[in-house]
Structures are given as structure tokens and as C-alpha cells.
Structure 1
Amino acid sequence: MLSRRTMLKVGVATAAAGGSGLLRPTARTANADQMTPGVELQEIIDELAGSAASAVVVEVRDFGKVWRGSSGVAELGSAKPVAVTGRFRAGSITKSFVATVVLQLAGERRLRLDDTVERWLPGVVADGDRITVHHLLQHTSGIVNYTNTREFRTLYGTADQVLAIRDRTWTPQELLNFTAGQPLLFEPGTTWMYSNTNYILLALVIQRVTGNHYAKEAERRLLHRLGLHGTEFPGRRSVIAGPHAHGYLPRKVDDHVEPVDITRFNPTVTGASGELVSTTADLNEFYRSLLTGWLLRPEQQSELLQIRSTGRDYDYGLGLETKLVNGIRVWGHDGDIFGCQAASWITEDGRRQLTIAFNPWGNGDPKPSIEKLLAVVFYS
């Protein structure tokens, strides 16, 4: 949700590795006769940690088998290994949880997806009588993304600026205020544009319908039901409890770049669009339960998977991204927040999964390593 891409795009490389876990059998790759799949997966995440990340954690599930691995160091300047079960900020993966709660409420007939925003949040959004809950879920509302506004980027443009307000608590209304007075980017429903503002509004809809904060509803309906003990909506809590790797932002100092530890910060600046803290195992369990129909009624399950073309390398359902890997359709979401990037992908039958989280740091591009992981896990 909040990316280091909005910051200086430079860093320094780190190179330390370690891993553990079960081997996942049956992956077929060009060199499958020379190494086990677990070794190949470990080599890929070591490559990522050596060029573009200070820490990496991965969990792969394949037909009931599980492989877990980690690489890098938990904190720059130390030799502390990365906990393979460690927690991390999951960023926009939060949106899949919010969307699931909204769809559950639709299944209970407590709201309809074609309800207008004005119906539930009167006067909160200009043109709210033309924007529906469905538009918010699928990013077809036309509402400006608050994190893309000049006012927001002025506050969060450099590492020093982020540090200066890392402890500030933001209310949903304050986040919405960044878009006040700005016209819709397009007529609702006519095209697609990713907007974190949509999910700030959906959280308020959940609160209006249920009388509870969206996080309370998500905890009751999803975290407790599925036993996701490593997952939380931290609200104003700035510290990640339990084992976790540190995240960094780059700060330019004279002729070099130094890391700024941003592990601790108040995530209300992301709210329902990106505050989630989780683990690889919990995210795999959540998406498996979602894609195999454990969480939604059939009508809402069908709605969840109705996709809209985005013009990017993925299409979008309702709180879900989807794309083809080796001709296989996978579903999930990625997340990008200060100091951490994460992604979770699953086949529609729920039998193969990949969840990865890493803390960006280095001169390299993480994309090639991520693509290699996807190719190994989602083989045809």
C-alpha cells in the first residue's frame, strides 16, 4: 500500500542466508534431475536475499505437502537468522480480508453489493449516490487514491519525513480528506483504477452495517474461525509482537545511502487498505479457505471471482488479484508497505500455494527471483 517506490530507489546489498523446512516434492523444472525442489526454492530466496532484500520468508503448499524457508538476517548489522514462522506487515493483502467480510454481510442480506455509498455513508463522499459497494470492492469507483495525492506524498516523500510522523494516528476521515474536492477520475463502473480510498470507505460501511469496527468483524469472522493466531489488525499499535525481521527505508547521506529502520510505525496511515500483520502460514490458510468456498455462500463466491481487466499484469475480482502463471490461473493479492513487501497466490482448487514476504534492501531487482518462485511452484 505504502511503497518504498515513493522513496529513494537506491540501497545497499546484503548477503546472508539460512533456511529450514520440509521439502515439497513433484515440482518439475529444467534442472529437476540435479536438485530437489526444496534446494531449488532455497537457492532462489538466497538469491533474492543476496541482491534485493535483507530478509525473506516463504511457505509453499503443494498437494498437502509444505515447504518453508527463510534467508537473510533479521536485522542489518547482526547475524540473527530470519524466523521462518516470523510475522510481517502484509500491506494491501488486508483488502482480501475486508472484501470477505463485506461479501459475508451480503450473503446474510445485511447489505447488497449494488447499494450506493450514499445509502450507508450519507454525505461522506461526493457522488456517493453513483458509486456502489461493488465499485469500491473492485476498484471501479473512480475515486482518487489518497496515497497518490500531492498532499499525501508531500508528507511521506522521504525517509526523514516518514520518521517525523511515524507515530501519528490517522482517522479514516483524515485519510479521506486527502481526496476532498477532487473529482472522480472516471464514471463509476466504466474502467478500473486501483485506489486505497475504496477500502477505507468499505471499512466504514462495515462499521455502519454491523455497529462494530471492521477489524472486530474480521477478527470474529475470519481470524478466530480459521485459527489465524499470527494475524492481527494492529490499529495504533506500532510494534510487531513476536519474531519478525526489520524493515528499512533508504536515506541519502552525502555520497552514500544508509538504511533507516522503519519496523516501528503507526499503521493507521494505511487503515483498512493495508494495516494487516500476518505470517506465511496464516495467509496460506486464509486464501485456501477463501478459494475453496469455506468462507462465502455460493452466490458471493461467484461474485468474488468475477474479474475485471486492469491493463496490468493481473486482473481484479473483489478484493482479489488474479493472473496466469505457466498457463495456470492463480488468485491472491500482493502488499507493499514501508519496509516490507508480500504476496500470496493460490490455484483455484486450493492445492498449490505460495506466500512470500521480504524486506527490500539492495541494488537488485526482486522481480526475477519472484518470477522464478512462481514458475517453480505453479508448474504446468
Structure 2
Amino acid sequence: MTKTLKTFRRIGLTALAAALLTGVAVPAASAGQDRPELRQVAQEFVDAGFGGMQLRVRDERGEWTGSAGVRELGGTAKPPTNGHFRVGSTSKNFTATLVLQLVAEGRIGLDTPVAGFLPEFGLDSRITVRMLLQHTSGLFNHTGQYHPDGTVTPGIPWAGKEWVDKRFHTYQPEELVRLAVSKPPVFEPGGGWSYSNTNYVVARLLVEKLSGRPFADELDRRILRPLKLRDTLSPGAWAGMPKPYAHAYYRYEDAGQWKTIDVTHQNPSWISSAGDMISTTKDLQTYFSALQSGKLLPSWLMAEMRETHPGSESLYGFYGLGQFTQDLGPGCGTIVNHNGSNNGYAALMYSSPDGSKTLTASITAGDSAKDPLPSYPAALDKLVRTVFCGK
């Protein structure tokens, strides 16, 4: 979705928003190992108004997992540390990796126009693979285009009662792209930077055209099976959630009254490969460590992935090809990430550039009338620095 703070605000926020593959020797976490500093910062997210959080950290001290809050409203059990959740825009990193694997194989070039491969959509002939992955295509965002002056050009419904009423509706990727190309472009291809979910729906269709296989099958063949990510999937229009999981809730206004519903089950086809995936903190850790340590892409494409656009600054750093790079300053260094949110769920996925240190987490929304948004940036910064700076 768009930059997470804006996304969370539009959702209402209370509604929300493996073997070690790095080749670096890291001791396994000892039984009963405690990390009070991590427990404390996880609790701060719950104290801010979120329903629950599950957290996984792997560093020089080993691997630690913990959770805070509740698994389900009205209960006392904490979220399962091996629980499934919707990862939202973290999906974009997987999609980018699939596309870049095809680039590595010579199926298409980074600066090759995509219109000739997908002629049915009438895409601007100047839009390249790089522009899709970097959000510099100028394509209208099918979930709504937010303009610098504060105005909004609506897209498909994805928030409020309008989304609640259609949360089991199935959208086809092709109709999302056709909606986007029916709107004026935000700028000329390559002429700016604007986060657009449509870019990654086009990328999905490009993967299918180049591979000749459904996107989910290609994801499974190239990433999930090789890395043994048994708890990760691209669900398409399936509204279910594999067990175990923490429940997620959505708070919205209806006829002047605030209501809260369980949205654990929802059809994510409205966001498609820009944000529909389900995973666990363990699988995200395994995947992102493998990617950053060079197990999935050649070094020259990893360098391209980390080459950021100067106009893309956000809470998470600067955007490259499917991921952010963030400089934490002296004593901390650089980290890479791609977080995400979907209605009721949010995901965090961070790594050191060599994949040896990782932070993955899930946040679920609850029924608090307290808006977590004001506390979110500080809580996130504290968590990231606790893990990557030892502070």
C-alpha cells in the first residue's frame, strides 16, 4: 500500500494497519533465553492501542521469539509466535524478486518496455520493468491516488463500510490494471516517484506472461519450495487463513456508529500481488535473509535492487526495486526492509545487508478507540534500533 503512516490513517489504524541461509554462524537461542528489552518494546505497541504483536529476532545472540497482547478479543492467550498473518505490501518484495529472477535469466531486461508483452492493456510504451518495480511508471494507483495537494482520486473500495460490504468480492488482476490505465497518469514515465499498487499487479501479469505459469505456481517453484517456506502462500481470491493465527479486527463507522468486526477472513484479490500474501515471522526471516545474502539473485541485481530513488523518502528510508534502504546513522549502519499492512494486519521485515541479522513481526488491530498512529513511529524506531543498534 502507500507509505504506511498514510495507509494506517486511511484505514483508521485501529483497523489497520529454516536453516540459517546466510552462511554466517549464529548460535541457536538457548531454551528459556529472555530478551527483556524486546519484550518491553513489543508491549509498547500493544499499549499504544494495537491488539497484538508477534516478534522474531535473529542476531549474534541467537534467535528469539515472543508476543504481546491477545490472540483474540475477549481472550487472554497471547498471539502464537508461529502464527500466520497477512503481510500486505511486504508481498511486493517477493514479486520484485520473481521479476528480477526472470531478468537474471535473460527473459527480459530491466530497461525493456513492458507494453509489448502485455499489449491488451494499452500501457504507455515508455514504461519499463525498472519503472514498475521502482514506482516511477506514473501509473494511477488502483486503490486510489493521493495527490500532493491533499485531494484524492478514488479507486476501488478498500476502506470503511464500502470495503466491509465488499470484503469477499473477487477482483481479477486484469480489471485492476484496466481501471488504472483508464485514469490519467500521475506523471510521464520516469518523470517522478509515486507509490502505486498497480505497478506490482502489472508485474504479476508480466511474470505470468514470461513464465507461462500462474503467479502462485511460479512463486512456489522459484522461492517457496527451494527455501522450504511451507507457511507462505499467495492466496489469490481465497479468503481463508491457515491455522494457527491471531485474529485481526477492523473498526469502521456506519451511520454515525463505530463498529468492530473480525476480518481475519477476507478476500485479498483487491490488492493482488501488491499485498495479498500470507506468511509467518519464521518464513519471512528465512526468505529475507536468503535474499540479502545472495541466495536468490546475482550480485549485480542485488545492487540494482538497492539503488534507491531520491524522491522516495518515507518512514522506512528510500525505495529501490521492491525494497527500502534505511540509514540508521553512526553506530547502527544501513538496513533494508519492506513492511506492509492490510486491513487488520501489518507486517515488519528487516535485515542487515548481509542477511545475518533479521527482524520480522506481525501486528494485529484490535478494538481500541485509542489511535495507535501517534505512537507508531517512535515505537517502530525504538524496536529497529534495539535490534540493529543495540540501543
The structural deviation recorded for 1:351 is 1.8
Are the equivalent residues in 2 in contact too, given 1:235–1:271 (CA < 8 A)? yes
The amino acid of 2:64's aligned partner reads W
The yes-or-no answer on 1:142 pairing with 2:146 is: no
Q: 1:119 maps to what in 2?
A: 116
The amino acid of 1:231's aligned partner reads T
Cα distance between partner residues in 1 of 2:100 and 2:184: 28
Cα distance between partner residues in 2 of 1:8 and 1:292: 37
Cα distance between partner residues in 2 of 1:102 and 1:333: 16
Residue aligned with 2:143, SS: helix
The amino acid of 2:357's aligned partner reads R
The structural deviation recorded for 1:37 is 7.0
Cα distance between partner residues in 1 of 2:306 and 2:46: 34
Cα distance between partner residues in 2 of 1:72 and 1:253: 27
Q: 1:344 maps to what in 2?
A: 349
Q: 2:300 maps to what in 1?
A: 299
The percent of aligned pairs where both chains have the same amino acid is 32
Cα distance between partner residues in 2 of 1:373 and 1:333: 15
Q: 2:289 maps to what in 1?
A: 288
- Change in Cα spacing, 1:86 to 1:72, as seen in structure 2 (3 Å) is same
Give CA-to-partner distance per residue, 1:84-140, whole Å, 9 cap, x none. Answer: 11110001111111111111111111111111111211141431x110011101111
Q: 2:385 maps to what in 1?
A: 375
Q: Write out aligned runs for 1:1-380 (5 A).
A: 1=1, 3-8=7-12, 22=29, 38-63=35-60, 65-127=62-124, 129-149=125-145, 150-152=153-155, 155-158=157-160, 160-252=161-253, 257-309=258-310, 310-313=312-315, 314-327=317-330, 328-361=333-366, 362=368, 363=370, 364=372, 365-379=375-389
Give CA-to-partner distance per residue, 1:69-94, whole Å, 9 cap, x none. Answer: 10111111122321011110001111
Single out whichever of 235-244 and 247-256 deviates more from structure 2: 247-256
Are the equivalent residues in 1 in contact too, given 2:133–2:200 (CA < 8 A)? yes
- Change in Cα spacing, 1:64 to 1:230, as seen in structure 2 (3 Å) is farther
Give CA-to-partner distance per residue, 1:139-164, whole Å, 9 cap, x none. Answer: 111111111144435x3341x32221
- Change in Cα spacing, 1:165 to 1:299, as seen in structure 2 (3 Å) is same
The structural deviation recorded for 1:4 is 4.7
* RMSD (Å), alpha carbons: 2.2
Cα distance between partner residues in 1 of 2:255 and 2:186: 40
The structural deviation recorded for 1:255 is 7.8
TM-score under structure 1 length normalisation: 0.88
- Change in Cα spacing, 1:71 to 1:279, as seen in structure 2 (3 Å) is same
Single out whichever of 143-152 and 238-247 deviates more from structure 2: 143-152
Cα distance between partner residues in 2 of 1:228 and 1:148: 32
The structural deviation recorded for 1:237 is 1.2
Q: 2:20 maps to what in 1?
A: none
Cα distance between partner residues in 1 of 2:376 and 2:30: 23
Residue aligned with 1:234, SS: coil
Are the equivalent residues in 2 in contact too, given 1:169–1:268 (CA < 8 A)? yes
Give CA-to-partner distance per residue, 1:252-299, whole Å, 9 cap, x none. Answer: 368864421111111111111001100111111111110110111232
- Change in Cα spacing, 1:10 to 1:301, as seen in structure 2 (3 Å) is closer
Cα distance between partner residues in 1 of 2:267 and 2:335: 32
Are the equivalent residues in 1 in contact too, given 2:67–2:81 (CA < 8 A)? yes
Cα distance between partner residues in 1 of 2:30 and 2:35: 5
- Change in Cα spacing, 1:301 to 1:265, as seen in structure 2 (3 Å) is same
Cα distance between partner residues in 2 of 1:9 and 1:101: 31
Are the equivalent residues in 2 in contact too, given 1:146–1:179 (CA < 8 A)? yes
Are the equivalent residues in 1 in contact too, given 2:121–2:181 (CA < 8 A)? no
TM-score under structure 2 length normalisation: 0.86
Are the equivalent residues in 1 in contact too, given 2:313–2:319 (CA < 8 A)? no
- Change in Cα spacing, 1:52 to 1:88, as seen in structure 2 (3 Å) is same
Number of equivalenced pairs:
357
Cα distance between partner residues in 1 of 2:253 and 2:133: 38
Are the equivalent residues in 2 in contact too, given 1:101–1:221 (CA < 8 A)? yes
Q: Give structure 1 stretches of 5+ with no counterpart.
A: 12-20, 25-35
Cα distance between partner residues in 2 of 1:43 and 1:96: 29
Cα distance between partner residues in 2 of 1:342 and 1:318: 19
